[in-house]
Amino acid sequence: MAKEKGPEFEQIMAGIKSRSFSPVYFFCGEEEFFIDQLVGAIEANVLSENEKAFNQTIIYGKDATAQIVIETCRRLPMMSDRQLVIIKEAQSFKEIDGIISYLKNPVKSTILVIANKHGLPDKRKTFGKDIQKQSVYFESNPLRDYQMPPWIKKYVKDKGYKMDDASVELLAEYTGTDLSTVSNEIDKLIINKPKGTNITTNDIEQGVGVSKEYNSFELNNALAYKDVTKAHKIVNYFVANPKNGPIPLVLGTLQGFFAKVWVCYHNRQKSDNDLAGILRVNPYFVKDYKAACAKYSVQKMEYIFYVLEEYDLRSKGINNNSIKEGELLKEVVIKILE
């Protein structure tokens, strides 16, 4: 899970599902997925459907004033023990500093949820300091590439399904780090599958639209073992299907792969489990990085990093005489393998 301040996501979610509520929640940060999940859980657990008509209020930041929020929070619930007030898009709430007095003395029968997407409060200012003390405060940060495979595996497990390591890596490579996109793709994959079944590379190929044979993950593998035929087949597929192999994605994946090979080379005397921890990969894939260490010298890897940087610039139009992306990618692979 991403690094965050205050209680972690799972801890807050467990409290919500057990109906152990706090008077004020403040969720903020760049990753919308975690914020939406927490807000959705609160909406689902605080009030019954019958109670929501009179006791759930949603205020959008651009329409909010300090007076409106405070008055709404201080009113008593109707035919319910609680009322729920949610401020969505709170990053647009210009008078948010004005509710500090309420945060210090919240009404016990009101649960106030503030969803501040795409940013954090200024912790140098009074509100930024006070909100961390007066609320259940959660910073929702984007996951990094290496965090995606374990997150996908856990998400799939929580849904009641299984996914092997190769399928996890394939889906992570294709979908990137946007959790809403990843979760939507997984939800599509499992919609017609019985609980407890496996999500396979075939499922991903048919449901998501990525080829299990022709993708950046398989290109890395081909280069690791210097499988020239396989590498050129994948590149030719990318040239014919540019949407499935955009050069920024492929170059970024290659950069990440050879960065791990470099680290592996300088730690190659360590055990596979230790290497997996250093590389932040599943131990199953350590053999591929070790194979690449045996195929590429330090000097060659330095040259590869130079090539990847050069062609990244050329793909952006710098020092490029109108050569198409597909041809640039072919040149990159030839230079790596030569």
Q: Per the structure block, which two tokens stand in for 222?
A: 């081909």
- Mean pLDDT of successive 10-residue stretches along the chain, which has 338 residues: 60 95 96 95 95 96 95 95 96 94 95 94 89 94 88 93 88 84 91 90 82 86 94 90 84 91 93 91 89 94 94 83 80 93
3-state secondary structure of 325: helix
Nearest to 121 by CA among 139, 143, 104: 139
Phi, psi of 54 (to 5 degrees): -105, -15
Q: Sketch the domain layout of the chain as residue ranges.
A: 9-139, 145-207, 216-337
Cα separation of 146 and 266, whole Å?
Answer: 20
Return the pLDDT at 105.
94
Fold of the domain built from segment(s) 216-337: Zinc Finger, Delta Prime; domain 3 (1.20.272)
Return the pLDDT at 3.
41
Return the pLDDT at 5.
44
Q: How far is residue 12 from each of residues 18, 64, 128, measured CA to CA in Å?
A: 10, 26, 20
Return the pLDDT at 6.
52
CB atoms within 10 A of CB 233: 16
Cα separation of 316 and 259, whole Å?
Answer: 22
Q: Which residues pair with 58 in a beta bridge?
A: 86
Rounded to 5°, the CA angle 233-239-245 comes to 90
Cα separation of 213 and 233, whole Å?
Answer: 10
Q: Per the structure block, which two tokens stand in for 235?
A: 């590149």
Return the pLDDT at 146.
85
The pTM is what?
A: 0.74
CATH of 145-207, one of 1.10.8.60, 3.40.50.1970, 3.10.50.40, 3.40.50.300: 1.10.8.60
Fold of the domain built from segment(s) 9-139: Rossmann fold (3.40.50)
DSSP string, 176-230: TT-HHHHHHHHHHHHTTS-TTPEE-HHHHHHHT---SSSSHHHHHHHHHTT-HHH
In the chain, at which residue ranges do the beta strands (DSSP E only) sit? 24-29, 56-60, 83-88, 110-117, 136-139, 162-163, 198-199
